Structure 1
Amino acid sequence: MNMSEIILLALIQGFTEFLPISSSGHLILPSALWGWQNQGLAFDVAVHLGSLAAVLIYFRQDIIKMTVAWFSSLRGNHSDDSKLAWWVIVATIPAVVFGVLVKPYIEFYARSALVIAVTTIAFGLLLGYADRTAKQHNNIYQLNLKSVLFIGFMQAVALIPGTSRSGITMTAALMAGLDRESAARFSFLLSIPTILGAGLLLSMDLVESTSPIDWSAMLYGAVLSFVSAYVCIKLFLDWIARIGMMPFVIYRLILGVILLGFVYL
């Protein structure tokens, strides 16, 4: 990859990983517009590491409190932070199970521009419906097992390209009654094991690969992905209570229509 490809793809990964707008929908655009080739396993690993570092550093205080509280809960000392840590674990399980069972079929049958376009539009409309109709009166510590399982199973749907992991988990969290900021925070916390797992799988594939590695591209990709993801998380949490989800819904609808144009024109 040349430098312009590295910069654009890393920024796309960093920004779209956490915004509810579908990273796969954006990553298909460079190949559709300019015929760019797949960026390769090494670059995928790098940008995932950058995104993971961003969310870990931004939520470092929450993560430390949750980790300490979780270990304390194993000795019978329960708290809001230990419960939140358990909820992140529980909500991750459906995605892991469904990922093992159906991901190979999704990779074969569903990774197309048409599927991404349709899911970008459909789940964008669902996000708009949740934002407009949900009660949004609970904070992140008022989650219960039923709500967490619902969010977890909805996250598993994000295996379908174009769904947006952050988008579908925020949608589910809003439908479960969380306010916008709490929905976003839980989605970001839930991204940590998900991105970590995806990065580990990609790293295993990279170890088995015989393709040469462009270390400079990996470095630039990781740094740019980290910076853009960190800025994205901060701005999103600062603004979401005021602007709501509708700007992202409208953006998804426009993106979906553009992708449909690439398919049929």
Structure 2
Amino acid sequence: MTPDLAVATDLPWLHAVVLGVVQGLTEFLPISSSAHLRIVAALAGWDDPGAAFTAVVQIGTELAVLVYFRHDILRIVGAVLRWIRHPRSHPDADARIGWLVIIGTLPIAILGLLLQHQIESTFRDLRLVAANLILFGLLLGLADRFAAQTKNLDELTTRRGITLGFAQALALLPGVSRSGGTITVGLLIGFRRDVAARYAFLLAVPAVLASGLFELKDIGSTSAAPPIAATALATLVSFVVGLAVITWLMRYIATKTFGAFVVYRVTLGIVVIALVATGALNPHAGPTF
């Protein structure tokens, strides 16, 4: 076993804590948590934590969503259950949102299964990650600057819900950002900044939880897989940090634009491309699990 591979299989506690903090800090900001987990590990000289580790650690941040939006989620789930019991009644706004979240989850679920091999290999190339950071950062900036931003969540139609579902599916590409992709399209459709963000977080819950639970089978399954204890620690850290970040972000976007995040994405993408171009960073640094 080479020294580098030993680092990957052991996944030291410090690495787990750092990656958990990175996940918590970046999941809700429109800057791509999967890209940051990939880039931080590569810059630190650690092996790529892999798609399975990334998916499972995201469970922590989705638990933060459940806590932060607990009143909204309970209300929506209750409305859906009431409509199921009385299907002849017209679904109210909360029930409609609940069904649209379910429908909007289908694109990422189907494409995630079809593209599983690419997600775990080709899509994690740092050059592609950097290009996605730049391109989708610029798209977010344009949408934030020029979109009307007048619609509320009660104006979410089936067509718009499906469109936002496909926008979320773009996050299968590290560097796009699950929240960033959904928010960008939400803004282009005409939703207000805070409304687009709120729906993006609600839409992500079933997809992220399902993905994380699906990938749990690969945690600790072999000597080359991320160990269970370290992954659990990273997940716990991501929950604590993520809850603080989502609380801050929802207050921030009530009065501020996404401009700072656009500048950050583009700058980071350029830096990664420069490091790869000069040979300072291997675009395939670290084997994936």
Task: State the TM-score, normalized to the length of structure 1.
Answer: 0.92
Q: For the residues of structure 1 that align with 2:166 and 2:52, how far apart are their CA atoms? A: 30
Q: Is residue 34–residue 54 contact of structure 2 (8 Å, CA) maintained in 1?
A: no
Deviation at 1:254, TM superposition (A): 0.8
Structure 1 gaps, min length 5: none
Aligned to 2:151: 138
* Larger relative helix fraction: 1
> Do the aligned partners of 1:14 and 1:47 also contact (CA within 8 Å) in 2?
no
Residues 213 and 94 of structure 1, relative CA distance in 2, 3 Å threshold: closer
Q: Which among 13, 16, 30 is matched to residue 20 of structure 1?
A: 30
For residues 153 and 41 of structure 1, do their structure 2 counterparts lie closer, same or farther at Cα, with a shift above 3 Å needed?
closer
Shifted more, 223-232 versus 74-83: the winner is 74-83
Which whole-Å CA distance do the structure 2 matches of 1:212 and 1:126 have between them? 36
- Aligned 8 A contact 1:43 1:217 in 2: no
- Judged with a 3 Å threshold, the aligned counterparts in structure 2 of structure 1 residues 208 and 180 are, in CA distance, closer, same or farther, namely same
Distance 1:36 1:219, change over 3 A: same
Following TM superposition, by how much is the alpha carbon of 1:25 offset from its aligned partner in structure 2, in angstroms? 2.2
Quick check: 1:38 aligned with 2:48? yes
Amino acid at match of 1:28: R
Letter in 2 for 1:38: D
Aligned position for 2:66? 56
| Corresponding residue number in structure 2 for 1:9 | 19
Shift of 1:44: 4.4
Q: Which amino acid aligns with 1:138?
A: K
Q: What is residue 284 of structure 2 aligned with on the other side?
A: none
Q: Over residues 108-138 of structure 1, what are the superposed CA-to-partner deviations in whole Å (9 max), with x where a residue is unaligned?
A: 4332010000010000000001101111111
Q: 1:116 to 1:46 in 2, by over 3 A?
A: closer
8 Å Cα contact 1:44-1:202 kept in structure 2 = no
Identity of aligned residues (%): 38
Q: Which amino acid aligns with 1:193?
A: P
Q: Which moved more, 1:12-21 or 1:218-227?
A: 218-227
- Contact persistence 2:38–2:124 (CA under 8 A): no
Note the 1:68-107 alignment, pairs <5 A: 68-74=78-84, 75-76=86-87, 77=89, 78-107=91-120
Matched, 1:174 2:174: no
Asked whether 1:228 is paired with 2:241, we answer yes
Work out the CA distance in 2 between the residues paired with 1:158 and 1:213.
Answer: 22
Matched AA of 1:244: T
Instruction: Give the TM-score taking structure 2 as reference length.
Output: 0.85
Match of 2:57 among 47, 58, 67: 47
What value does the CA root-mean-square deviation take over the aligned residues? 2.1
| Contact persistence 2:151–2:192 (CA under 8 A) | yes
